[in-house]
Structure 1
Amino acid sequence: MAVALEFRPPFEPGIFDFLSARAVAGVEEATSTSYARTLSLPGGHGWFKLVWDGSRLLLEHEVEDVADVPALVSRVRHLFNLDHDPAAADAALAKDPLLAERIAKLPGIRLPGCVDPAEILLRAMVGQQITVAAATTALRQLAVLGTSSRLPQGTLTRFFPTPAQLAMGGRLILRGPQRRIDSILAVAGMLAGGGLRIDASDTPETLAEKLLPLPGIGPWTVGYVSMRVLANSDVFLPTDAAVRNGYGVLRGDTLAQARTIKSPVLARMAEPLRPWRSYATLHFWRVSGEK
């Protein structure tokens, strides 16, 4: 039986499209109104499916250990940003003339979170400097390394690979510059061995202290991970091509003109949007994807 999860309205369901575009077959399954995936929980295996019916968020799930249900619900709430106060963010961003119409059109936009911090870090590293489609293809290839679920549900048959599984088998699957592959596998090894740990107890500052010294990790990756692991409301990614393009198109540029916008210009533009720059980033991403 599905249960309705509480949230502060309004709820803008574009987060489902965001997750759908990045879904890893076998691990995740998503549409514009639903998202399902396998979960490795403290007491065993599980899966969940969240459906938006136009007014409610309905959760179905199955776990091996009933004691894991609170943990599962907590991860779903974090993934879908359900404790966010959208009215506060929207009211602040709507004061910006460039964003006001978008806010009115898409109230309640949500910041995608995560169900596993280490997974998001590794997925972000795989996706650096390539398109979402190319990153998703690479992640789907890596998924064969993941453990098979004892609770298969439809196409949900395996877990996303653990850092140890990626560190051991990723070199045979990953493609691209050797330095990039080495960086991904080194970080996977550190996560597996305990030399690196990131979680919701981090701050943006401690996250940067841990990650920036590592080869292959720059400010974009730290910012993206901060958004998704910490639900950090005030991240801006001025080097992100989709942010640049979305901003330019929103202000009336052609795509060719938008591509000439420099990162410092974007960073200065975003300063008045504090402390909600992550949500502005989502709007710019959405605009870029619409063109």
Structure 2
Amino acid sequence: MHTDFDRCVRAVRSKDARFDGWFFTAVLTTRIYCRPSCPVVPPKDENMTFYPSAAAAQQAGFRACKRCRPDASPGSPQWNERADLVARAMRLIADGTVDREGVPGLAARLGYSTRQIERQLLAELGAGPLALARAQRAQTARILIETSALPMADIAFAAGFSSIRTFNETVREVFALAPTDLRTRALRGQAPAPSGLLTLRLPFRAPLCPDNLFGLLAATAVPGVEEWRDGAYHRTLRLPYGHGTVALAPRPDHVECRLALSDQRDLAGAISRCRRLLDLDADPEAVDAQLRTDPSLAPLVDKAPGRRVPRTVDAEEFAVRAVLGQQVSTAAARTLTARLVAAHGEPVEAAGGGLTHLFPTAASLAALDPEALAMPAGRRAAVVHTVEALASGELSLGIGSDWAEAREQLAALPGIGPWTAELIAMRALGDPDAFLPTDLGVHRAAARVGLPATPAALVRHAAAWRPWRAYAVQYLWSADDRSPLVCL
């Protein structure tokens, strides 16, 4: 979109927040870049130029506006919606792959050469993988500076910088303030949070329907790993450098996120996973506009617009849970999964509440004697095949995975049918077009709103909903009185 100058100018003139994250406005006279919705008086048209990413604006020598904080705007929906190389690379960069493994590690995960990755990102986003990772490190540093009492030296290394000097230079260049000045400006007399506990705001594009998001997570929460308590969804997190816990609570214009991490280097990855879990980078107006064109869906969309697709913080965990939940009720699936967690999960200490374990890894489950898995023989066999495929790498469900290839890998596993494969594609892979035509709740809701009743006929009808069929499923579940959603 950033190449459509006239459209970008109109968005800036109207201060349209719907375009935040889609592009960034750079002002040639002040050398500042902003969100389209920045509250300051827009500059003259001839003084504006536009970039597809914050990293591209920073690389061109612009610094972040202190009013609208463009570095903290919702991310572009494209990286959640698309399955191509650039989108997969952006999801991996957001998860911290470049910081942990370098550009060669990113390229290896995607199956391309380093040169190909750099060329594709530069052409699409105006910045290469190192510049994109640098922009993320700057934002991670800003969060730690503004919300914690950590010493600056600890923040520098926790954010992924190789030296304190690089940290200081980057913060000054990106935000036009020294790290200590940034903290003073943010706190303004308030005490920072204790070390180890971070509270931050996760922005999103309005509208958002919290009952949809948090209701499903609360209804399917596995005791020990997840819980709904005190108006927030709590869960444990297994992260690259350690573990943590998170509490996510809906607010009118943001989601409040309270993180406790055993290693602060996991901050950027934890934020990325929480945003992905809640589908916060979606563009609900684009989704709802498409679904409203169907007269059968329009009343459901108008009743509660902004439904998201609840996803996951751990794709391997969700795959195991999906297999356990085949052909049983939500309550039965929770019971089976809770037993698995209690017997084989890794214990953790969390302040207050009922969080007690990390979900067991696929590798740890694959190493068990199958007879140790207390469940019916058929389901046990399906779980064993799934965890073995995950542990060996035969099945890849990471955020950089190819969606079509992952579906083929799932279909090849004994005990995994189309319903399970599509549910995993929807919530673990994040495919916005995943569809569940054989789901009982979808079938009941379709009949209720006048849609075709048979799976084949519904698939044909749903072609008009593409590429948003996963969102259509959320609206259909809302019309089913026996869906697993709860009202919060």
Question: TM-score, normalization: structure 1?
Answer: 0.91
- Aligned with 2:290 (options 67, 75, 92): 92
In 1: Cα distance, 2:475 partner to 2:363 partner: 36
- Aligned with 1:163 (options 359, 362, 376): 362
Work out whether 1:288 is the aligned partner of 2:480. Answer: yes
Spell out, residue by residue over 1:71-127, the C-alpha distance to the aligned partner (whole angstroms, 9 max, x if none). 100000000001100000001101111111111111110101111111111111111
- Aligned with 1:76 (options 270, 274, 282): 274
Work out whether 1:181 is the aligned partner of 2:380. Answer: yes
Work out whether 1:128 is the aligned partner of 2:326. Answer: yes
**What residue identity is the alignment partner of 2:286?**
A
- Aligned with 1:217 (options 390, 413, 416): 416
In 1: Cα distance, 2:371 partner to 2:357 partner: 20
In 1: Cα distance, 2:407 partner to 2:230 partner: 33
Question: In 1, are the aligned partners of 2:397 and 2:429 still within 8 Å (CA)?
Answer: no
Question: In 2, are the aligned partners of 1:17 and 1:31 still within 8 Å (CA)?
Answer: no
Q: CA deviation at 1:213?
A: 0.8
In 2: Cα distance, 1:263 partner to 1:181 partner: 28
**5 Å matches for 1:22-101?**
22-30=220-228, 33-101=231-299
Secondary structure at the aligned position of 1:51 is classed as strand
Question: Residue 303 of structure 2 corresponds to which residue in structure 1?
Answer: 105
In 2: Cα distance, 1:15 partner to 1:140 partner: 21
Question: In 1, are the aligned partners of 2:204 and 2:280 still within 8 Å (CA)?
Answer: yes
- Say if 1:171 and 1:33 are closer, same or farther in 2 by CA, change over 3 A: farther
Spell out, residue by residue over 1:120-158, the C-alpha distance to the aligned partner (whole angstroms, 9 max, x if none). 111111111212121111111111110011445421111
Question: In 2, are the aligned partners of 1:208 and 1:222 still within 8 Å (CA)?
Answer: yes
**What residue identity is the alignment partner of 2:372?**
L
In 1: Cα distance, 2:371 partner to 2:249 partner: 36
In 2: Cα distance, 1:122 partner to 1:222 partner: 12
Q: CA deviation at 1:244?
A: 0.4
Work out whether 1:11 is the aligned partner of 2:208. Answer: yes
- Say if 1:186 and 1:152 are closer, same or farther in 2 by CA, change over 3 A: farther
Structure index of larger Rg: 2
Q: CA deviation at 1:162?
A: 1.3
Question: In 1, are the aligned partners of 2:203 and 2:253 still within 8 Å (CA)?
Answer: no
Work out whether 1:147 is the aligned partner of 2:335. Answer: no
Mean alpha-carbon deviation: is it higher for 146-155 or for 242-251? 146-155
Question: Residue 255 of structure 1 corresponds to which residue in structure 2?
Answer: none
Secondary structure at the aligned position of 2:348 is classed as strand
**What residue identity is the alignment partner of 2:469?**
R
Secondary structure at the aligned position of 2:276 is classed as helix
Question: In 1, are the aligned partners of 2:433 and 2:470 still within 8 Å (CA)?
Answer: yes
Mean alpha-carbon deviation: is it higher for 27-36 or for 121-130? 27-36
**What residue identity is the alignment partner of 2:447?**
G
Secondary structure at the aligned position of 1:110 is classed as coil
Secondary structure at the aligned position of 1:288 is classed as coil
**What residue identity is the alignment partner of 1:108?**
G
Q: CA deviation at 1:236?
A: 1.4
Q: CA deviation at 1:180?
A: 2.6
Question: In 2, are the aligned partners of 1:48 and 1:60 still within 8 Å (CA)?
Answer: yes
Structure 1's unaligned 5+ residue stretches are 253-257
Work out whether 1:239 is the aligned partner of 2:438. Answer: yes
In 2: Cα distance, 1:279 partner to 1:95 partner: 14
Mean alpha-carbon deviation: is it higher for 240-249 or for 161-170? 161-170
Q: CA deviation at 1:285?
A: 1.4
In 2: Cα distance, 1:142 partner to 1:5 partner: 32
Could you list the structure 1 runs, at least 4 aligned residues long, displaced by more than 6 angstroms after superposition: none
Q: CA deviation at 1:265?
A: 2.0
